[in-house]
């Protein structure tokens, strides 16, 4: 697949960037629907979007730049020698953990400024984030990246010789890891949209976001096992280490949230 969607003169629009933007706009639209359902002003979604987007991209890029992929390319050692390449985000290299951290920081800053409840707005954003991830992962397909080991399964994808990792040059078809993650995120989006409505009376502000911190990292932990180029910390891929940390934070957040509720039974549960 040609990574360039279309070109106007010298200006090339790449599928990677186009799909990332599409995912962001889809997430924002879902967030406006969630905000309206919860009795919040949906205009806050658009007002805070730029700040969340900018910090999300910065966080996503920094995670990628300071990584050390197993194949030795497009990580800290590469960018240290080619600093101008740090700016070329259209060529790929936006890591979701960094994006979530940066976006959450942007949301925290905006909600502090607008005097809104931060955890309530993380709940509003979380389902759409999963949808954005499901859409954005197809940018990896366009760039022929985020694939797994060789396979002869019928859904294996062809990878051009110049995009194959060292040691895999003689193979043609590989596991579409990007597809596995995209489908997992799409399933999560559907589940979270149902979950946030069906269990609304039992949920407290932050529960949906904390559930996201459990759901996505849980799937990512196992998906990461299929990545031969994964940045590793000790015996685990770095993404698996961060997945464990996120799951612990998510589980602790839910426990603390509901212990607080038990400690104050007279306090009405906030609708989520």
Q: Is residue 170 part of a domain?
A: yes
Average pLDDT over residues 172-192: 97
Domain count, the chain: 1
Other C-beta atoms lying within 10 Å of the C-beta of residue 252: 12
Q: Is residue 200 part of a domain?
A: yes
Q: What percent of the chain has pLDDT over 70?
A: 92
Residue 7 structure tokens: 């070109």
pLDDT at 266: 44
SS (H, E, C) 177-229: HHHHHHHHHHHHHHHHHHHHHHCHHHCCCCHHHHHHHHHHHHHHHHHHHHCCC
Average pLDDT over residues 157-161: 94
Mean pLDDT of the chain: 90
What whole-number distance in Å separates Cα of residue 156 and Cα of residue 116?
A: 46
Q: Is residue 73 part of a domain?
A: yes
Host domain of residue 158: 17-263
Q: Is residue 255 part of a domain?
A: yes
Q: Is residue 10 part of a domain?
A: no
The SS3 of residue 162 is helix
Q: E strands of 62-127, at which residues?
A: none
Q: Is residue 2 part of a domain?
A: no
Q: Which residue has the higher pLDDT, 86 or 109?
A: 109
Q: Is residue 226 part of a domain?
A: yes
């Amino acid at each position: 697949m040609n990574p360039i969607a279309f070109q106007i003169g010298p200006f090339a629009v790449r599928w990677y960037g186009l799909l990332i933007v599409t995912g962001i706009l889809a997430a924002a639209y879902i967030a406006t629907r969630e905000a309206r359902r919860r009795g919040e002003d949906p205009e806050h979604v658009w007002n805070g979007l730029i700040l969340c987007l900018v910090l999300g991209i910065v966080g996503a890029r920094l995670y990628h730049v300071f990584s050390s992929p197993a194949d030795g390319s497009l990580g800290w050692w590469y960018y240290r020698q080619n600093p101008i390449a740090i700016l070329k985000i259209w060529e790929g290299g936006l890591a979701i953990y960094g994006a979530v951290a940066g976006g959450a920081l942007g949301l925290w800053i905006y909600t502090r400024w607008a005097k809104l409840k931060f955890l309530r707005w993380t709940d509003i954003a979380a389902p759409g984030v999963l949808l954005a991830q499901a859409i954005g992962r197809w940018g990896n397909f366009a760039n022929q990246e985020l694939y797994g080991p060789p396979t002869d399964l019928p859904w294996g994808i062809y990878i051009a010789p110049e995009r194959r990792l060292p040691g895999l040059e003689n193979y043609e078809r590989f596991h579409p890891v990007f597809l596995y993650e995209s489908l997992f995120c799409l399933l999560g989006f559907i589940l979270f949209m149902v979950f946030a409505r069906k269990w609304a009376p039992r949920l407290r502000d932050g529960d949906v976001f904390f559930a996201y911190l459990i759901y996505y990292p849980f799937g990512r932990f196992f998906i990461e096992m299929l990545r031969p180029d994964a940045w590793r910390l000790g015996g685990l891929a770095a993404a698996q280490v961060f997945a464990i940390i996120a799951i612990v934070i998510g589980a602790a957040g839910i426990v603390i949230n509901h212990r607080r509720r038990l400690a104050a039974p007279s306090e009405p549960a906030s609708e989520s």
